[in-house]
Amino acid sequence: MAVKSSRYVTIKGIKDGLVFQFDDQCEFNDLVTELTYKLEHSHQNILTGPLVHIDMKLGNREITDEEKDTLLDILSQKGNLIVRSFDSPYEEPVEAPLPEKHMVKTISGMIRSGQVLHHEGTVLFLGDVNAGGTIISTGDIYILGALRGMAHAGIDGNEQAVIAASFFSPTQIRIADMISRPPDEGESRESHMEFAYLQDGIMKIDKMANIARLGRDFNVFKGV
């Protein structure tokens, strides 16, 4: 059944992306129905072209983790939509603000061939970076998904930055000014959860279980 009017989901353009404003009084199923309809019918034009950052605003709606995942899943299925923020008044506040340099931004979606995601600071990306796709950050890059494209961490010269992925099989990785390419075709190497880092000016790759040896402060993930 078609949605007759845009009662529950309002989509507004801003300077660097889109804001999805959700009605906080309607039934959650009605919200899901209208969001799906708009993405598949009335607003198909936003699904073409470069990556689009999405800020989701729930108003005073209290939602469960399952409902939140449902909304994120709908948006993540659209290849060029990257969820940048999810605002709800019922999110538990962080006890104390973290220094800006330690803040981690969580972004979900998929980076397809020809798409580039650029972030200032450390980024936790929930999704895959496909071959031909690129993720760039001034800080660390942590990918809960497959890295098959290019990743460049510490682009402003930060040689302490790391690149980590659940499935580590990049076409190219860069940390600061150092570039590393994948092994030659004649070399075989199992791809699994790994991270890349610089040591004495040399790019090294190790199993994720050994990242603690670098003395990383994983309290930076507090509140993510």
User: In the prediction, which pLDDT does 175 show?
Assistant: 95
- Residue 90, pLDDT score: 52
Task: Tell me the backbone φ, ψ of residue 118, rounded to 5 degrees.
Answer: -115, 130
Show Cβ contacts of residue 12 under 8 Å, excluding neighbours closer than 6 positions.
18, 19, 21
Report if residue 92 sits inside a domain.
Answer: no
Whether this model's pTM surpasses 0.85: no
pLDDT at residue number 41:
76
Domain residue limits at 78: 9-87
Provide the CATH number for the domain around residue 181. 2.160.20.70
Q: Kindly state whether residue 210 falls inside one of the protein's structural domains.
A: yes
CA angle, 158 then 161 then 164, to 5°: 155
Q: What is the 3-state secondary structure (H, E, C) of 63-75?
A: CCHHHHHHHHHHH
State the pLDDT at residue 149: 95
Contact 128, 151 (CB under 8 A): no
Q: What is the DSSP secondary-structure string of 89-130?
A: TTSPPPSSPPPGGG-EEEEEEEE-TT-EEEESSEEEEEEEE-
Three-class secondary structure of residue 135 per DSSP: strand
Block mean pLDDT (10 aa), the chain, length 224: 62 84 90 87 65 84 86 76 72 45 77 90 92 94 94 93 93 92 52 84 86 59 42
Output the domain CATH number for residue 54.
3.30.160
pLDDT of residue 68: 85
Please indicate, yes or no, whether residues 124 and 191 belong to a single structural domain of this protein.
yes
- The residues, any chain, with a CB within 8 Å of residue 63's CB and separated by 6 or more, are 28, 88, 90
Please state the domain count of the chain: 2
Identify the pLDDT of residue 86.
76
pLDDT at residue number 83:
79
Are residues 81 and 147 both part of a single domain? no
